[in-house]
Amino acid sequence: MLGREPTFAAIVICDLGVIIAIVVVGVRDTPVVSAISLFVSLATLVMVCAVQHTSSRESKALNLKLDELIRVSEARNELIGAEEESHARLATHAVELRERRLTDPRG
């Protein structure tokens, strides 16, 4: 969810809204310390979303490459797109693969 462009855009817009609100309303106590703290918090949030977006994109690309290798090999095609299945279904696949590995003479 954090890795999607609309989420990233919404967070940046909210961050800008907070900055504008602080400027309009004013900051009490020590304005410099509060402004620096706010900036660091907002920048951290933006960077977390940016890293998540990059990681999500790379993971999706890797899954597509693996799906293509499965498609062109002798592997079972029902594993294509497994990353979108439920945890229970993935656990079932893991058990099946473990059993196959134990019974397969090729090791």
Angle at 54 (CA atoms; ends 20, 6), nearest 5 degrees: 45
Q: What's the pLDDT tens digit per position in 14-55?
A: 778 777 777 777 656 666 667 767 777 887 887 887 787 777
Residues in the chain: 107
pLDDT of 87: 82
What does the domain layout of the chain look like in residue ranges?
A: 5-75
Confidence band, pLDDT 50/70/90 cuts, at residue 105: low
Percentage of residues of the chain with pLDDT beyond 90: 0
pLDDT of 98: 82
pTM given for the model: 0.45
